[in-house]
Structure 1
Amino acid sequence: MNDLSFSRRQVIGTLSAGAAALTLPGCAPTLASGPIPSGEGGVKALLDSIGENLLALSPESATSLGLDTGPRAILRSRLADRSQAGQDRLAAVLRTDLARAEAIETAGLTHATRTSVEVVRSAYRTALEGFAQPYGDVAVGGWRNTPYVVIQNVGAYLDVPRFLDSDHPVKNAADAEAYLWRLDGYAAQLDGELGRLKAAGDQGLIAPAFLIDKAVSQMTMTLKGTREGGGLVESIQRRTKDIPGDWVARARSIAQQKIAPALERQLAELQGQRARATMDAGMWARPGGPEFYRWALKASTTTTMTPDEIHQMGLEQVAELHGRMDVILKSLGYTQGTVGARMTALSDDARYKFSEGDKGRAEIMAFIQERLQIIRAQLPRAFRTLVRGNLEVKRLPPEEEPGAPGAYGGAGSIDGSIPGKFWINLRTTDLHRKYDLADLTHHEAIPGHVWQGEYSNQLPLIRTMLAFNAFSEGWALYAEQLADELGVYDGFEVGRLGYLQSLAFRAIRLVVDTGLHHKRWTREQGVRFFVEKNGSKPDEVASEVDRYCSWVGQACGYKIGHTEIVRQRSRAQAALGAKYDLRDFDDAVVKGGNVPMDVLAKNVDEYIASSRT
C-alpha cells in the first residue's frame, strides 16, 4: 500500500472489531468443544474449525475469498455487524479459540502445521490485547488498527459500496437477491457504527478536525450518490440488464428510504464532533492515546520496539538511502542542494510527468501494463514455484480518492474467480511520475501484494485470513528490491532512483509516525519533513500524513518488516554459502505464508536446515 472491492488484503484489514456476523439463521459460528485433538490430522481439523469460526464472523471475507458457496452460501446475503455487540461477540470467539490453540501440543507436528498454530496464537493474542483498549477497531491478524470508527479512510460508507460493486457477484437472480439483502443490512451496519462513534465521542475520543473535514466531504458525496440513484443502485442496474426482476426499483427504495437516512445520521454525528475537535494530530492528545499507540506499534511491527527506537531507525535508514540517491542524482545532472531539494526539482521535470486529465490517466494505465510485462518475464529467476499473478488494474472510486493513498492492492479469491486488484488513485495525474510508478507497480501488484497473496491463498483457511502488517508490507518493499535486483531498471536509471526514494519514503514514515503520535508533531511538521527531506510531492504527502493519524502505527510496519526479511536473507546466505539459491529462499518466505517476524525466523531456520542435507 502506498503502504476498500475488498481484495484479499482489504479483507484482512476489515477482519476487525466490528466484523461479527449479523445474528441470522445459519450464520452464527458453532464453537467446538471437548478435548483438544492431538496428532497432525486432529490439529489440522481444529485449525480448520477456528478458521470457520472467524469466517462466519466476516461474510464479506467469505465472498471476497470465493468461499460463500455450498454450506456457507448464506453468507453471500449478509454483512458484518459493526456495532459494539458485534465487537464483543468477536472478542468472545477469539478468547475461546485462543484457548483451544494454546492447548495444542505441537511436538511431533510438521513444521507447516506448527507454523499455523503459532500464527493463530500470535494474531489472537495481539487482537485481544487490542480489545482491552477502551476504543477503536482492532484488526484480527490484519493491518488496519484504528482508534476511529468512522473517518476519512475507515467506515462502512467507504468499504461497502466498493465491496458490493467489485467483489459481490451478480451472475443470476440469486446473486441479485443477495445483493439486495446486503443493501438492507448496510443501513443497520451504518447505525451499528454510529453507536460506537457516539460512545467514543462521549469518552472524549474525537478525531483531528482536519480528518473529520475530509470524512464529512467524502460522506456528503456518498450520500448525494445514494439519494440520486448512483453508486449502489447503478451497480446493480448495470449488472442485471439480462436478469429479469425489479432489482433497480427495489435497490433505489432501500437506498433512499434506509441507507440515505443512516448516512445522514452518521454525517450529523461527525459534524457535531467537528465542533469539539482540535487540530492535534497524534494519539498523545487523546485519552489513553499513548497506551493505544504502544499497542498499535506492537501489532503493526510484530516487535517490541519503542517509539524512540523506531524514530532513530528511520533517521539512520534515510541517511543511508539518501547517500545512494545522491550518486544517481549527480549522474542525471542534479548536483546542487539537498537530496530532497533535488528530488523536488526532478518532480517538476516535464520529462517524467504524465499528461493532465483523462489523456494522462490512460498513459498511466498503459505504463503500468508495460512494467507488469517486464517484471513477469523475470520472475522465474527469483522463484522456483510460480503463481498466476491474477491481476486487474482499476481506478479508485472518485469519492474515495481524496482520502486515499496513491495506490493499494492485494490478491483476489482463492479460486481465481475474483482477480487481485491494483487500485490506483487518479484524482490527479500529478500524483504519479514515470520514475516512481514502476516501483509502485512492483509494490502493490507483482511481485508484491498480489503475487504474495496468491501463495497465502494456497494455505489452510485460517492462514488465508490472518496476515501481519510487518510481513505484508515488508514483503512488498522486498518485492521492490527484487525488481531492482532482477534488472528492471537497467537502462532506466531514473526508475532506480524512484525505487530508492520509495524506500526512503518508508523510512521517513518511521520518523513521521512516531513524530506525530509520540513526539507531538503537528500535521504540518509531518508534511514538511516529507517534502523537505525526501522531495516527496505535497499532494501525496498530505494524504499520507492524514492516513498515519487514523491508521495509527500501520506505517511503521513497512520498513521494519523489510529490514527483517533482508536480514534473514543475509543470514541464510552466510549459513549456506554455495548451497544458497535466491529462488529457494524466496519460496521459503512466500510459501511459509504471512507470519509475524519471530515465526519468519523459524521458517528461515527450516529452509537453512533442509538446504544443508
Structure 2
Amino acid sequence: MTIPTQNSITRRQALSGIGAGVSLTAVAACAPASIASQAVKSAAMIQPNAFLDLVAYRLLQHEPERATGLGVDTGAYAGLRSRLEDQTQAGQDAYAATLREDLTTIRAIDTSGFDADTRTNFEVVESGYANALDGFALPYGDVAVGSWRNAPYVVIQNVGSYLDLPRFMDSTHPMRDAGDASAYLDRLAQVPAVLDGELDRMRAATDMGVVPPDFLLVKAVAQMQRTITDAMKGGSLVAPLENSTLGAANEAAGEAKAIVQNQIAPALEAQLAELYRQQKSATGDPGMAARPKGDEWYAWALRASTTTPLTPDEVHEQGLEELASLHGRMDPILKDIGYTVGTVGERMQALSQDPRYKFAEGDPGRKEIMDFIKDRIGWIKGQMPRAFNTLVDPNLEVKRLPLAEEPGAPGAYGGAGSKDGTIPGRMWINLRTTDLHRKYDLADLTYHETIPGHVWEGEYSNRLPLIRSILAFNAFSEGWALYGEQLADELGAYDDFVVGRLGYLQSLAFRACRMVVDTGLHHKRWSRDEAVNFFVERNGSKRQEVESEVDRYCSWPGQACGYKVGHSEIVRQRTMAEEKLGDAYDFKAFNDAVILGGNAPLDVLGKNVARYITSVS
C-alpha cells in the first residue's frame, strides 16, 4: 500500500467517488432480486467501486437511519430520509435475503485483477456479510450488520427503538428546511409500526423461552415507564420540531404531538406489557448458556465481535494472562505514590476514594467534567502530527447522554460523524452521577472516544467507499480506540501526571477483565455477583460503574471481548513490523497503514500491514 505523506483525502473526493459510475449505482434505489445477474458481475469487473456503492445502497434500503447518519440520503436516495428500518420479522428476513444475494454475487466475482485496496474492500464486505448471515440464521435476537450491538433481546435496558429513536431524531435527523420537517413527520408516523414489529419479535422470543435476566428487566421496565411518561406529554420526540427556528418545523409540532400521544405511547405501553410478561418467568441467571440455543448464539456473537475463531475458553485464558501482565506494570507505580499494601485491585480501590481525584458532586462537577474533556481534546489534537502523516480535522462535539438512557448506559461512548461532515462526531458522556469518573481515568476515556480513538478513526473510514463507511468491526473499532489510548501515553499524556498513567493501565486491565467476565457469564455460568466482584476485587474498579457494565455484557454477549483482542492484535502487528523492518520502520507510517486500511476484520488488518511492510522492504 502506498502511504500518502500529506492530508490529501477529503470528504468531497470520497463523496464524488460515490457518484462515479452512476449508471450502476442508480439501480440500487429499486434493485430487484435479479441484481445478482451475470450482467452485474461483469459490470463489477469494470467498475468495482461503483458496484460496491450499489451494494451499500441496497443495505441502506434496510437501514435508512444509517443513510441519514452518513449524510448520503440525498439525490436519488433522498427518500431514505423519510423512512425507518422495518423491525418486523418479515423485514429482518428481507434484510437477510439482500445480504445473501449480494454475498453470492461478490463471491462469484474474480477479484484477482483488482488493486490491493479494492481487493480489501471486497474481502471486508464478504467477511461482514457472512458473519451477519450466520446471526440472521439464529432463531432470535437482533443482528448488527457491520456494527457492534448484537443482542439476543430485541428490547431491554440498552436495546430497542424506545431508546434509539428519540436520540436519533434529536441528534441526527436534519432540520434544515421544510422537506426535513416533512420527513421528520413521515418517520414519526412509522414509529408505531416499528415498535409493533419489535413487539411481535419479543413475544416470539418469550414463547421460545428466551427471557432476559430479571435484573435487566427491572432496568428496562423503569426506562420504558419514563419513555411512556415523556411520550404522553409529547416530550423528546416533539422537541426537535418545537425547538427549531424553522417555521415549517414549528407548524408540524402539533401533528407530531398527536402522533406521539395517540399512536406511539400506546405502542410503547404494549411493549411494557410484554416486559411485564417476561418478568413473570425471569430468573437471575445472567448468561446465554441458560437460554435456548444459548451456546450456539454465544459462539456466533463471540466470533462476530472478535472477528477471530477464538473459543470462549481461549478468550478467557488470554484475558487472565493479559490482566496479570498489566497489573505487573501498575504495581511499581502504585508503590512509588505510596500505595504499598494489598493487591493491585485493593490499592486501586483505595486510590479511587482519594478526594484529590474526585470531581465535585452535582452540576458543578458535571461542568468540571465537561471542561476537563474539552481540555484533553485540545491537547491531543495538537499531538497528532507527531503520530500520523495523513491528518484529518474532525468535526467533534461532547454531549451528555439523554437522561432516560443514562441508567443502562456505560460511562461514555463515541463515534464518527456523517460522511459529508454535516453531523459531527460525538463523545456521549454519562453524567447521572459525577462519581462515575475520576481525574486519573477520564483522560484516557476521552482519548478512547474521540482522538485518536473512535472519532478520529471514523474520519478515515468516512473517506473510503460508502460500504466501508457502513461496515465497522467491533475488534478493530474498539481495538483501535485502545491503541489510541496507548498512542496518547506514548505522546506524553501522563509524563507530568503519573497517576493518569495508572488510570490508562487500569483501562487496559479493565478490558482484559472484560474478556474474563464476558466468557465467565456466558460460557462458565458465572453469576452476576461473581462478575461484578471480579472487576472490583481483581482490578479495583468502581462497583457502581461495573454493575452497569456487567448488565451490558448480559444484553450484548461477546461485544466486550472485542476491545482487548483487537488492541493486542494491532500491537502484535506493530511489533512484527518493527522486527521485520528494523531501521526502516517508521512509527507514523505504521499508524497510517493501519488507519488508512480502514475498519476491517483482524485477518484483513494483517494483510494491510503485510502490504505496508512489503512496500517499505
Q: SS at 2:281's partner residue?
A: coil
Q: Does 1:134 align with 2:135?
A: no
**Aligned with residue 249 of structure 1, among 249, 254, 268:** 254
- Whole-angstrom CA distance in 2 between matches of 1:557 and 1:498: 20
State the partner residue of 1:161.
166
**Counterpart contact for 2:73–2:81, Cα < 8 Å:** yes
Aligned residue runs from structure 1 range 522-561, under 5 A: 522-561=527-566
Q: Does 1:48 align with 2:53?
A: yes
- Whole-angstrom CA distance in 1 between matches of 2:340 and 2:29: 63
Q: Does 1:283 align with 2:325?
A: no
State the partner residue of 2:464.
459
- Whole-angstrom CA distance in 1 between matches of 2:164 and 2:483: 28
Q: SS at 2:113's partner residue?
A: coil
Q: SS at 2:413's partner residue?
A: strand
**Counterpart contact for 2:146–2:473, Cα < 8 Å:** yes
**Aligned with residue 403 of structure 2, among 398, 401, 405:** 398
Letter in 2 for 1:264: E
Aligned residue runs from structure 1 range 23-422, under 5 A: 29-31=31-33, 32-35=35-38, 36-37=41-42, 41-240=46-245, 242-243=247-248, 246-422=251-427
Q: SS at 2:426's partner residue?
A: strand
List runs of 5+ in structure 2 lacking aligned partners. 1-27
Measure how far apart 1:243 and its partner are.
3.8
State the partner residue of 1:3.
none
Aligned residue runs from structure 1 range 438-453, under 5 A: 438-453=443-458
- Whole-angstrom CA distance in 2 between matches of 1:88 and 1:574: 48
- Whole-angstrom CA distance in 2 between matches of 1:41 and 1:408: 40
**Counterpart contact for 2:242–2:249, Cα < 8 Å:** no
- Whole-angstrom CA distance in 1 between matches of 2:332 and 2:426: 35
- Whole-angstrom CA distance in 1 between matches of 2:520 and 2:190: 40
- Whole-angstrom CA distance in 1 between matches of 2:493 and 2:581: 27
- TM-score, with normalisation over the residues of structure 2? 0.94
**Counterpart contact for 1:29–1:56, Cα < 8 Å:** no
Measure how far apart 1:221 and its partner are.
0.5
- Whole-angstrom CA distance in 2 between matches of 1:81 and 1:462: 20
The C-alpha deviation readout for 1:341-394, integer Å capped at 9, x for no partner, is: 111111100000000000000000000011111111111111000011221100
Measure how far apart 1:106 and its partner are.
1.3
Letter in 1 for 2:322: Q
**Counterpart contact for 2:312–2:519, Cα < 8 Å:** yes
**Counterpart contact for 1:40–1:110, Cα < 8 Å:** no
Measure how far apart 1:229 and its partner are.
2.2
Measure how far apart 1:28 and its partner are.
5.2
The C-alpha deviation readout for 1:250-282, integer Å capped at 9, x for no partner, is: 111000010000000000000111111000000
**Counterpart contact for 1:38–1:105, Cα < 8 Å:** no
Measure how far apart 1:136 and its partner are.
0.7
State the partner residue of 1:489.
494
The C-alpha deviation readout for 1:427-485, integer Å capped at 9, x for no partner, is: 00000000000000000110000000000000001111001110000000100001000
State the partner residue of 1:23.
none
Letter in 2 for 1:399: A
Q: Percent identity?
A: 64
**Counterpart contact for 2:409–2:548, Cα < 8 Å:** yes
Q: Does 1:589 align with 2:577?
A: no
State the partner residue of 2:575.
570
- Whole-angstrom CA distance in 1 between matches of 2:63 and 2:296: 28
List runs of 5+ in structure 1 lacking aligned partners. 1-25
Q: SS at 1:577's partner residue?
A: helix
- TM-score, with normalisation over the residues of structure 1? 0.94
**Counterpart contact for 1:27–1:75, Cα < 8 Å:** no
Measure how far apart 1:579 and its partner are.
1.1
**Counterpart contact for 2:178–2:246, Cα < 8 Å:** no
Measure how far apart 1:139 and its partner are.
1.4
Q: Does 1:506 align with 2:504?
A: no
- Whole-angstrom CA distance in 2 between matches of 1:64 and 1:241: 21
State the partner residue of 1:611.
616
- Whole-angstrom CA distance in 2 between matches of 1:207 and 1:244: 39
Q: SS at 2:235's partner residue?
A: coil
- Whole-angstrom CA distance in 1 between matches of 2:583 and 2:29: 54
Q: 1:327 to 1:80 in 2, by over 3 A?
A: same
- Whole-angstrom CA distance in 1 between matches of 2:135 and 2:188: 30
Q: 1:220 to 1:34 in 2, by over 3 A?
A: same
Q: Does 1:599 align with 2:610?
A: no
The C-alpha deviation readout for 1:108-157, integer Å capped at 9, x for no partner, is: 21000000010011011111111111111111122111110000010000
Q: 1:245 to 1:29 in 2, by over 3 A?
A: farther
Q: 1:34 to 1:241 in 2, by over 3 A?
A: closer
**Counterpart contact for 2:134–2:300, Cα < 8 Å:** yes
Q: Which moved more, 1:532-541 or 1:38-47?
A: 38-47
**Counterpart contact for 1:27–1:74, Cα < 8 Å:** no
The C-alpha deviation readout for 1:171-227, integer Å capped at 9, x for no partner, is: 222111111111111111000000000000010000001001101000110110010
The number of equivalent residue pairs is: 587
Measure how far apart 1:27 and its partner are.
6.3
Letter in 2 for 1:259: I
Q: SS at 1:95's partner residue?
A: helix
State the partner residue of 2:7.
none
